[in-house]
Structure 1
Amino acid sequence: MASRTSYEVRVAGVIGPAAREAFDDLTIRVEPSATVLAGSLDQAALHGLIERIKALGLELIDITRVPSGRSTSARSTRHPAE
């Protein structure tokens, strides 16, 4: 079994409801100029996430490995359809 690590992945802007469905396995947090996708992933899942971001035409800003002990389970922010 592959080792899982917590990550926060930032994409530019606020992603819409349809794109959010592609990330329903992650916690989604909206910041002023970015959307943060957070969760515990193994290397294959991280690469798959990067491919989903690319396929949706989203701009990848940053990938941060979250130190153990710090939770990535912040509540998902829901916004009305744009």
Structure 2
Amino acid sequence: MSNERNLETSHDRPKIYEIRIKGHLDRQWTDWFGGLTITLDENGDTLLTGPVDQAALHGLLRKVRDLGMPLVSINESHLNQPTVGRSQGENR
């Protein structure tokens, strides 16, 4: 029983994810993507970054699908913890 509880709580905790999609999104989409940081790469990709729990991650992937933009990658970031308010790159 305790293993089931540990599994549930680990999936409920937000983690920092980096979701890369092909094509550029305007920053106006920030609210639609739950306040994730939107970074436009020079190669034409958009990087969505921020704290997301498992349920919200599935919802975000549906939104990417609904936009018709190809999903390039999803990675868990180990650089920041979900409690960090700003990413290191925002001071540039």
- Tell me the TM-score normalized by structure 2: 0.68
Matched, 1:30 2:40: yes
Whichever structure has more helix as a proportion of its residues is 2
Whose RCO is larger (CA < 8 A, sep 6+)? 1
RMSD: 2.0
Partner of residue 9, structure 1: 19
Give me the whole-angstrom Cα distance separating, in 1, the residues matched to 2:57 and 2:34: 14
Contact 1:14 1:30 in 2 (8 A): yes
Paired residues in the alignment total 73
Task: Determine which of 64, 70, 88 is the counterpart of 1:53.
Answer: 64
Verify the 8 A CA contact 1:19 1:56 in the aligned structure 2: no
Runs of 4+ off more than 3 Å: 16-21
Structure whose alpha-carbon radius of gyration is higher: 2
Unaligned ranges ≥5, structure 2: 1-8, 81-85
Q: Percent identity?
A: 33
SS at match of 1:36: strand
